[in-house]
Amino acid sequence: MKKFIAITLLSLASSVSMAATISLPDYLIFTAIDGKSVSNSAQMEVSPGQHLIELQFYDVFSSGADDTNFIKSDALYWSLHLTKDEDIQVRSKEIFSSTNAKKFIALPVITLDRDSVKGENVKLVNHEELMAIIMKQHSQMMQQ
């Protein structure tokens, strides 16, 4: 009986997958991971490996009672390679105005803080840039 319990506990422990938790600032949300839609969330668990993460900027700014400015980006893409299970905190420069939001969307750079590396800057790409990267990689593969 003890052997059965030990084997059961070991199989349960081995079936639990390790995952990193990625936390985004309030103005970014996850929309898809590896092409699979996810609920618009600011926190997600991701297992080690290569991932294509789709994000969206989403915020509301108001300069008065009658003046509300809603800012939303198209899809922004982030290629992430996780080698181990470590939590990642995403941040960027403070965005207090619609002008700052538009600047961020035009040049979306995030900063990653994790146990192994603090302050790693990553440029997000839009759909057009992502397709250009894929075509370049495809051309290089075809020439080999």
Break the chain into its structural domains and give their ranges: 20-142
Task: For residue 75, give every residue at least 6 positions away whose Cβ sits within 8 Å of its Cβ, in sequence order, or none.
Answer: 31, 32, 54, 55, 56, 126, 127
- Write down the pLDDT at residue 12: 42
- Write down the pLDDT at residue 104: 96
Q: What is the C-alpha separation between 73 and 35, in angstroms, rounded?
A: 18
- Write down the pLDDT at residue 15: 39
- Which residues does the chain have with pLDDT short of 50? 2, 4-16
Tokens coding 133: 């990267």
- Write down the pLDDT at residue 17: 52
- Write down the pLDDT at residue 39: 86
- Write down the pLDDT at residue 123: 97
- Write down the pLDDT at residue 75: 97
- Write down the pLDDT at residue 19: 83
- Write down the pLDDT at residue 26: 92
For the full predicted model, state whether its pTM sits above 0.75.
yes
